Amino acid sequence: MNIALLGYGKMGKAIEQIALKRGHTIVIKADIDSVYNIKDADVAIDFSIPSVAFSNISTCLNNGVPVVSGTTGWLQDYDKAVALCHEKKGGFISASNFSLGVNIFFELNKNLAKMMSTLKQYHVDLEEIHHTQKLDAPSGTAISLANGIIENHPDYDKWILDSKADNAVPIVAKRIENVPGTHTVRYESDIDFIEMKHHAHNREGFALGAVIAAEWLVGKTGVFTMNDVLNIG
Ligand SMILES: NC(=O)C1=CN([C@@H]2O[C@H](COP(=O)(O)OP(=O)(O)OC[C@H]3O[C@@H](n4cnc5c(N)ncnc54)[C@H](O)[C@@H]3O)[C@@H](O)[C@H]2O)C=CC1
Ligand SMILES: O=C(O)C1=N[C@H](C(=O)O)C[C@H](O)C1
> Which ligand 1 atom sits nearest the alpha carbon of residue 69?
1
Pairing type for strands 43-46 and 91-94 reads unpaired
- Cα(83) to ligand 1 centroid in Å equals 23
Q: Are residues 9 and 68 in the same domain?
A: yes
> Which ligand 2 atom sits nearest the alpha carbon of residue 134?
1
Pocket of ligand 2 (CB under 6 A): 72, 96-97, 130, 134, 139-141, 181, 206
Residue 97's Cβ-side half-sphere holds a number of Cα atoms within 13 Å equal to 26
Which residue owns the Cα nearest ligand 2 atom 3?
A: 180
Is 130 designated active site?
A: yes
- Cα(62) to ligand 2 centroid in Å equals 27
CATH (domain of 67): 3.40.50.720
Closest CA to 68 of 127, 15, 104, 27: 15
The DSSP H or E segment spanning 193 is strand 193-199
Based on C-alpha coordinates, what's the Rg of the chain?
A: 18
Q: Is 170 in the pocket of ligand 1 (CB under 6 A)?
A: no
φ/ψ (deg, to 5) at 67? -135, 135
pLDDT (tens digit, 9 = 90+) per residue, 108-137?
Answer: 999 999 999 999 999 999 999 999 999 999
How many distinct structural domains can be found in the chain? 2
| Mean pLDDT score of the chain | 98
Reply yes or no on whether the pLDDT at 233 is more than 80.
no
Q: Are residues 105 and 190 in the same domain?
A: yes
pLDDT (tens digit, 9 = 90+) per residue, 168-189?
Answer: 999 999 999 999 999 999 999 9
Pairing type for strands 182-188 and 123-130 reads antiparallel
Q: Are residues 113 and 168 in the same domain?
A: yes
Q: Are residues 78 and 167 in the same domain?
A: no
Q: Specify the pLDDT at position 231.
A: 87
Q: Are residues 194 and 144 in the same domain?
A: yes
φ/ψ (deg, to 5) at 218? -60, 130
Select which of 21, 120, 134, 174 is catalytic.
134
pLDDT range class, residue 57, cuts 50, 70, 90: very high
pLDDT range class, residue 7, cuts 50, 70, 90: very high
pLDDT (tens digit, 9 = 90+) per residue, 210-227?
Answer: 999 999 999 999 999 999
Q: Are residues 18 and 82 in the same domain?
A: yes
Domain that holds residue 76: 2-98+204-230
Q: Are residues 138 and 164 in the same domain?
A: yes
Mean pLDDT within 192-205? 98
Q: Are residues 212 and 169 in the same domain?
A: no
Q: Does 123 appear as a known binding residue?
A: no
Percent of the chain whose pLDDT exceeds 90: 99
pLDDT (tens digit, 9 = 90+) per residue, 74-98?
Answer: 999 999 999 999 999 999 999 999 9
Neighbour count for residue 46 (Cβ, 10 Å) = 28
Q: Are residues 28 and 116 in the same domain?
A: no
Residue 196's Cβ-side half-sphere holds a number of Cα atoms within 13 Å equal to 17
CATH (domain of 164): 3.30.360.10
Q: Are residues 10 and 93 in the same domain?
A: yes
The residue count of the chain comes to 233
Q: Specify the pLDDT at position 56.
A: 98
- Cα(199) to ligand 1 centroid in Å equals 20
Which residue owns the Cα nearest ligand 1 atom 29?
A: 32
Burial of 217 from C-beta contacts in 10 A (0-12 / 13-18 / 19+): buried
Q: Does 96 appear as a known binding residue?
A: yes
Q: Is 224 in the pocket of ligand 1 (CB under 6 A)?
A: no
Q: Does 131 appear as a known binding residue?
A: yes
Reply yes or no on whether the pLDDT at 140 is more than 80.
yes
Sheet harboring 168-175: ordered strands across? 158-161, 168-175, 123-130, 182-188, 193-199
Q: Are residues 87 and 105 in the same domain?
A: no
What ipTM was predicted for this assembly? 0.99
Q: Are residues 220 and 145 in the same domain?
A: no
